[in-house]
Chain A
Amino acid sequence: MIKRVAVVDIGSNSVRLLISELIEKKNYKILIDEKDTIRLGREVFEKGVFGSSSIRRIKRTLEKFKKIMDDYEVDHVRVVATAAFREAANAVEVKNFISKETGIKNIEIISGKEEGRLIFLGVISNFDLKDKQALIVDIGGGSCELVIGDTDKISYNESLNLGGTRLTKFFLKSNPVKSYELEMLENHLDSVFKRIKLAAKKHDFDMIIGTGGSLNNFTKIIHALDKSNGKNDMFREVELNDVEKLCEDIASKTFRQRLKLPGLDKKRVDIILAAGLVIKKVMKFYGKNAFTSLSKGLKDGLMIDTINRLGIIFPYQHDSELLKEHRIWEIGHRYNFEEKHAENVTELSIRLFEQLKDDFGFDERWHEYLMAAAMLHDIGYYISHSAHHKHSQYLIENSDLIGYDEREKDIIAQIARYHRKSLPKKTHQGYQNLNNGDKEIVNKLASVLRIADAMDRSHLETIHDFRVSIKDNELIIKVNAPESDLFFEIEGVSKKGDMFTWVFDKKVVLKGIK
């Protein structure tokens, strides 16, 4: 049985190795994420062939990766090569040579469109595109993939020779870059986009998602400058004027000066500008004010595709509508959560939410936060019983939820954190890092979650039917069951209604009506 799968992506800028372990055909976990920046593109895009030093570099890296894969006793390996190999005249020879030298067979040289598809697969597995059309812009070393689609299908797929390494090599040769060099690049980009504009225009899309190492790093710098927030976020939203500002800034700097930029990956000190300029151009062309940077991409799609090819389809892939929920379920299962209780609390939470939203001003979007928090509120129990609410918070913060941005994930984590024990305090760092609006969301939703949790304190799903009414200073939850069956829940609610009282100044009372 296949347990460990490795994929290698030989890109124009770097070669990456990903080894993962399958968990009961439901999920996988990454064991190794290894990267060697060997800049194959530099030589190929200039000379059209791999030179001896490039070949040596490929060989050395792949030897190393082979070693690692052997060490991990990988059961299945897939190696793909992209732009540099597509372009190099001696690609096939080099491929055979490398195979022979390293023992790595069947290196696939994939087309730009296939690359786009894989990127798309990587993106939708990690980002909720429910009801949305997105343009995915993946800026690699040699190429730039543009894919438009929603969770169901790809409607547009184009591969452009606008990779960072390539553009830098051709246009931005000076240090610091000269203004005419910038101008030439801008002109080049204009002409390329003009060419594809019409084709892309037919496909309206709601958002831009940017992927690829350079772009991620570019975004990271913006955020680092912005907030000096060093978190390794999976995705962030970036606005156009920030992109423009940073491009100007980088363009004015020498490499040495650029190195002082917080968050800058020094291996990308030269090519970062090109990536920035490309995304700026994309946004301007399509009239979008912002894009979302996502740290998932080719290698992730490649991994999923590879596993799919092995006959394993992940649950969420059957029904893309439920991608978001499926990811939550996967996370829950990973931490052995008690499904029924989680489901039941979620159901109770949502029903409370629905009945309370008008009176207490709950925003419809919050629905999703509450759902996620309710599902995952107890996962911290896997770590230990004591303080498990804090563990839940930690695990949620460090999980890849799909369909929620970083801010939303923080909110969800905090809601889960306050499902029991103390109410928010000055000393609670995570809570205090939220802005006031988000604190309010946490307060309100955690209040609801607490009540719902108390309503299933017995984990016996005693309560099915209930109605909520508000009287003076009381929130009355009338349950369609005899009171004598409910003392436990009554007691629980009177206790865990504390946060609701704190937030809304209303006592929470559970009553039986039979």
Chain B
Amino acid sequence: MSAIAAIDLGANSIRMTIAEKKEDKLKILDKMEYPLRLGKETFLKRYISPEALKETINILKVFRRKLVEYAVKRYRAVATSAIRAIDNQDFFLEQVRLKTGINIEIIEKSEEERLVYLGLALEIKDFKDIVDQGVTFAKVGSGNVEFSMLKTNEVFFSRSIPIGGLRLRENLKKVSEEHFKDAMEKYVHSDIKMLKQSMPKIKTKNFFASGSLVKVLRQIISPSGKAIPRKKLEQFYKELKTMTIGQLAEKYDLANEYADLLLPTTEVYINFLELTGCDKIECINVSFTGCILNQMAGFFKSGFMTKQIWKSAISIGDKYHFDKPHALRVSELSVKIFDQLKPIHNLSIKHRYLLKLAALWHDIGIFIKNSEHHKHSYYLISNIEMPGLSSQDVQIIATVARYHRRSMPKKYHLEYTSLGNKARVVVSKLAAILRLADALDRSHKQLVQDINIDIEDNEIIINVKFNEGGWLEKIHFDKKKNLFSRVFGINIELIERLK
């Protein structure tokens, strides 16, 4: 097998890793990192200047040489936060492709998080035990601080806060250097305070951090150890506060790129340690390019992440006080119907998963208001940010939930038409199924014991076995089946099987 490569256009640098698959591991052949602060431009202007484009191209040309050097045939080049939100994205990607021949794909934040998470699971020994004890993963990047807490195998809290070192520097650039430290402390403090409001009050035993800045911190604070004790970090912070960037760069022999981010980064980490109740930071080295390579090499176990998504999904439901048994049952029924209708719906396993989530969340809008709650569900779901769900996925889920009751998809519904042809069909099909499933638990009493679907020439018979009662379900089933027959062009009837 020949060498593979991953390229990552990050906010602070452009990186490439070339590796070989050796048995069940990656053998890293070469790693490159060129500092280029794309993020510095895009965080503020949402636009990449011709100069930055040129620099990017120059770096990628170097990378291209490398690809040839190692006879790399398979590569993946991705861009993350810095490029994700820029206005001249298409132009940028096109220019890069024309000038370097490298095709860059924009990676959704959720996908990025998913890959990193899988990378962590692969990297950290005894991952399961550590998650059982509770673990916080943090990455103080240049733009954002990515932060997630896990306990017993469940992503129960995940946030991205815009207080990365570079962004702080940018946001506070008018503050004079002598006041910067105080200003930054306050700034970080206030955001952490906001974060506290919305996070569960759970402590984790472990605190892992990745990223080049934490590496620098580790090298300075505890060069021999793998972990940075909180006390030492706090001491270091005190020292930092007395120094200028120049002194810092000089004393610790740092590039300026790092020196001026050290103070904000340290401050953020100290705050996070306090937040999570941990007494040390363990440094892990999970590079995003490494994650991509692991994925390319097929080292990530599939299905692993879906479990995490599901747990997170339930905690989101809890946040909006959903009727959990109902949500779970509707979800389960949706999937059952989906599976048994396989011959007629022609949808993928992924759609099945989207349906499962849409069904789980279909009622969360009630938290805002009961009336029109399907629309509120739509709003809330479309604003969910979760590792492993792309924004396209989220839009589909939200729209399916939106059509779980009331009006059928209509041409003038913006949320529907904006989906695009393919997705519209998917949404209608899934919503049709969700409506049936919702009707089957209309009583919120989980009365359906089992269902069994017969697909006949002219109609579909759904045989339902109720634990008891079920007449409310039957009434609603009749009301809610109209979308189904419209979408699938076939009538569906409920027949109650005797107990």
Contacts and interface: CB of A to CB of B under 8 A. Distances in A.
Contacts of A391: 383
B2 to A, nearest CB: 41
Contacts of A184: none
B193 A383 contact: no
Given A31-B370, A232-B371, A384 B385 contact: yes
B445 interface: yes
A487 B175 contact: yes
Given A30-B366, A398-B376, A458-B186, 19 more contacts: A21-B321, A31-B370, A33-B370, A67-B472, A70-B445, A71-B443, A71-B444, A336-B197, A382-B198, A386-B162, A386-B385, A398-B368, A399-B368, A399-B369, A459-B189, A460-B190, A487-B182, A488-B179, A491-B172
B193 A338 contact: yes
A457 B187 contact: yes
A341 B368 CA distance: 22
Contacts of A460: 186, 189-190
14 contacts: A64-B475, A67-B445, A68-B444, A71-B444, A71-B445, A383-B383, A384-B385, A391-B383, A398-B368, A399-B369, A458-B186, A484-B179, A488-B186, A491-B174
Interface string B378-391: 01100111000000
A236 to B, nearest CB: 15
Interface residues of B, number: 42
B68 interface: no
A488 B193 contact: no
Given A31-B370, A458-B189, A385 B176 contact: no
A395 interface: yes
Contacts of B189: 458-460
Interface of B: 159-162, 172, 174-176, 179, 182-183, 186-187, 189-190, 193-195, 197-198, 321, 323, 366-372, 376, 379-380, 383-385, 443-445, 469, 471-472, 475
B444 A72 contact: yes
Contacts of B380: 383
Contacts of B186: 457-458, 460, 488
Interface in A277-322: none
A310 to B, nearest CB: 20
Contacts of B371: 33, 232
B202 to A, nearest CB: 16
B383 A387 contact: yes
A210 B302 CA distance: 60
A491 B194 contact: no
A200 B172 CA distance: 65
A135 B174 CA distance: 58
Contacts, number: 105
Contact of B198 (A33, A381, A398): A381
Nearest to A339: B197
A21 B322 CA distance: 11
B385 A381 contact: no
A228 to B, nearest CB: 12
B383 A385 contact: no
A32 interface: yes
A336 B469 CA distance: 40
B443 A385 contact: no
B198 A29 contact: no
Contacts of B194: 338, 378, 381, 385, 459
Contacts of A387: 383
A331 B187 CA distance: 27
A50 interface: no
How big is chain A's contact interface, by range?
Answer: 35 or more
A117 B179 CA distance: 61
A459 B198 CA distance: 15
A132 to B, nearest CB: 26
A72 to B, nearest CB: 6
Contacts of A23: 321
A494 interface: yes
Nearest to A33: B370
B372 A232 contact: yes
A60 to B, nearest CB: 10
Nearest to B414: A429
B190 A459 contact: yes
A458 B187 CA distance: 6
Contacts of A382: 198
Contact of B193 (A31, A71, A459): A459
A400 interface: yes
A32 B370 contact: yes
B193 to A, nearest CB: 5
A329 interface: no
A394 interface: yes
A29 B471 CA distance: 27
B141 to A, nearest CB: 15
A486 to B, nearest CB: 9
Contacts of B369: 30, 398-400
Given A33-B371, A487-B182, A394 B379 contact: yes
Nearest to A63: B471
Nearest to B186: A458
B160 A385 contact: yes
Contacts of A384: 383-385
Could you say which of B160, B161, B376, B443 has the most chain A C-beta atoms within 10 Å of its C-beta? B443
A221 to B, nearest CB: 18
For the complex of A and B, 9 pairs with smallest distance between CB atoms: A71-B445, A71-B443, A458-B186, A487-B179, A30-B370, A459-B190, A488-B183, A71-B444, A383-B383
A381 B175 CA distance: 27
A488 B187 contact: yes
B37 to A, nearest CB: 21
Nearest to B376: A398
Interface in A11-39: 21, 23, 29-33
A337 interface: yes
Contacts of A70: 443, 445
Nearest to B172: A491
Could you say which of B159, B162, B198, B323 has the most chain A C-beta atoms within 10 Å of its C-beta? B198
B383 A67 contact: no
Contacts of B383: 383-384, 387, 391
Interface in A93-147: none
Given A72-B444, A394-B379, A398-B376, A457 B190 contact: yes
Interface string A313-347: 00000000000000000000010111001000000
Contacts of A334: 367
Contact of B182 (A385, A399, A488): A488
A337 B198 CA distance: 9
Interface string A374-418: 000010011111110001001100111000000000000000000
